[in-house]
Chains A and B, each alone.
Chain A
């Protein structure tokens, strides 16, 4: 697919996902996967501001522990934190060992093979609610078009958080943010139970949870809640079959 058709397909897919009662974490996970497809990057993740004002990871194109850790570090420092504070995009920041800007984040990102990082603010009426984080394994710059597409996807992510609320006051926004953040915690609790019960890794635990939710048309968070409440046995979750990308 060329760039234009890929973008149209992505937007149609996201619009299709943003129907009644969608699961925010599931939609944001789709979005991060599409970032990797549509923008010249290798990993993407969404971080949202918690009530304490710290950033919390909510969705990523990869659920591997090492990638998740890269987001975890950014509770305290990193491109997302800076982007979130200033409300300004960070694009084409080349990572290097001599760069002292993020002493915890940079070495870890380099160790994972990433060479450049980008962070785009998720803004809503003057308030920054989080950031979209993009990683690249090769150096070189994102094109202007890439940046526009990435910011567009960050805006879609913001819309996804709002969940159909057109008149959004501060209370309603806090409500949605908190539910999204809490959903991620429920999913982590469920992942731990699945991992222990079925002897799989955390990555597979998430994929099984997500595959089962999709197969049975159930919200990811609703299903995760049932796993934690032991009304859904981890062993009864559908087996996840990795699909080969087109």
Chain B
């Protein structure tokens, strides 16, 4: 099956099939140009490509849920002139009553990135004002779930709990947004009724937290969420040498591993290379960053070299 045939079959019936359904080439200029309505077209483009890969079993069957996230993003993008907010995607995807995302600064202080509704906003304000709560803990440690705020036996954050219940929350679920030792912040989800998440919601919440991490990385690297398309589409964060390269680059440029990863990502976009290919060059010493001149140096020519 060719790419365009696949698009006709796989693209939703209510959407015009795109032909050719190519993956957009990402570089700074095209990213800047691809604003407004063209963004949803781009989303549709790589949704299509991902479906093709899925169809040909190039990617794991379980990525169906990842596709569902893309579909929500694409629809929200189409429906609103301002584009979508990740917290709205998170709330809809996990089928919970609200979501909030907080970002962590270098000094470990949290600030709100977005909240999906009024109640989620109030919960975010509460937690940031008190400086305690599940999201604060998750941003620094591991995931945290409180399946019934009213019946809890824990003596932690008593003030937070009673106030959260007053704001309408009964169960709260918080997940670190992280990539290895890099901490971006946390995702918080709540429900107005008590009880644990079901198995699907639980894995969806972790998946959403991982997508948010990559979205934040993409945004920091090229200043727009459009970069997320390239980030999620085939640029796997599972490639171990991407993280090795970030560690090496951190030492080369005397920066944090987080900055190094953002820097690496931005460089990949800048030179139109795949993140994993650039990372491979860094690990093998073909490309390095000179801390004195603050410049990238290619020791060997950038050709068709790929591991």
Contact = CB atoms under 8 A, between A and B. Distances in A.
Interface in A100-115: none
Nearest to A198: B251
Nearest to B245: A192
Interface in A162-216: 169-171, 174-175, 178-179, 182, 184-186, 188-197, 202
Contact size range, A: 35 or more
Given A53-B61, A75-B236, A193-B250, A185 B142 contact: no
Which residue, of B181, B245, B248, has the highest number of chain A Cβ atoms within 10 A? B181
Contacts of B244: 188-189, 191-192, 195, 202
B238 A75 contact: yes
B180 A189 contact: yes
Interface residues of B, number: 45
A54 B249 CA distance: 27
Interface stretch (B25-33, B37-45, B92-100, B198-206): B198-206
Interface stretch (B62-70, B117-125, B293-301): B62-70
Which residue, of B62, B65, B196, B240, has the highest number of chain A Cβ atoms within 10 A? B240
A193 B251 contact: yes
At the interface, is chain A mostly helix, strand, loop or mixed? helix
A57 B243 CA distance: 13
Contacts of A53: 60-66
A50 B247 contact: no
B246 to A, nearest CB: 6
Given A52-B60, A54-B236, A193-B247, A179 B142 contact: yes
Interface stretch (A7-15, A143-151, A222-230, A238-246): A222-230
A185 B240 CA distance: 7
A205 to B, nearest CB: 9
A49 B248 CA distance: 27
Contacts of B202: 170-171, 174
A189 B245 CA distance: 8
B283 to A, nearest CB: 7
A193 B236 contact: no
A51 interface: yes
Contacts of B283: 65, 192, 202
A190 B260 CA distance: 13
A16 interface: no
A67 B59 CA distance: 22
A228 B66 CA distance: 29
Given A53-B66, A175-B142, A188 B180 contact: yes
B104 to A, nearest CB: 14
A54 B239 contact: no
A202 B279 CA distance: 14
B248 A193 contact: yes
B207 A51 contact: yes
B58 interface: yes
9 contacts: A51-B207, A52-B63, A52-B65, A53-B64, A75-B238, A76-B58, A170-B197, A170-B198, A171-B196
